[in-house]
Amino acid sequence: MRALLASLLLLAGCAGAAEDEAGSQDSGPAAPPSAGAAAATTAPSEHASGRVECAAPEETIFSCAMSGGKRLAVCAPQAGAAQYRFGGTSPELVLTGGKWATAMYSGGGEAQIEFANGDTVYTVFSRMIRTNFAAGEPNYPAITDGVVITRDGKFVALRLCEGGQADMPVQYDAAERAFPQSEDLFTDETIRADPDWANE
């Protein structure tokens, strides 16, 4: 299992050639989205604020700083579909639609919001896991936020928010209002690729 963890972390570190952090792809244009998949654009849509951060009157569902001065945000406008936005001073990738799911863990839980761009899937997550199981001792929760990128169902990259935590982790109530809930959304890539997982 630790060999699998090391492989995933190596992939996450090397995936920059295929992915510019959590957004732009260097591998050419993406395949057209399948039926029911989120629509992708390379510029802000009519609902986007022209910047990555959510702007009034949008509701912020998730927001964090990424490496290289980039940001990642999930925003819900007053009308229309919620958006995944990634970029620097302006969005480089905007995905609409999405679905979400939650799971409870012992001493924590996780929320994921999935957006598809053709065969590439971006899964934004906020997770809190228990790291101490000694009787009578504090939980010492580990909190991690970021995005997992998969292509054709295979792991491509794990991109954590700067410092490992989001400015605003996934807001459950806002996500519930903005997205359909999915029972089969969860994959174990985020758990296996989390450095804290090796210590459990």
Residues 9-50 pLDDT 10s: 333 333 333 345 466 443 333 333 333 344 554 444 444 457
Residues near 66 by beta carbon (within 8 Å), at least 6 away in sequence: 21, 22, 72, 86, 159, 161, 162
**Please, are residues 152 and 138 in contact by the beta-carbon 8 Å criterion?**
no
Distance CA(189)–CA(50), nearest Å, equals 32
Distance CA(21)–CA(65), nearest Å, equals 11
**Please, are residues 161 and 145 in contact by the beta-carbon 8 Å criterion?**
yes
- The stretches in the chain having pLDDT less than 70 are 1-49, 184-200
**Please, are residues 139 and 107 in contact by the beta-carbon 8 Å criterion?**
yes
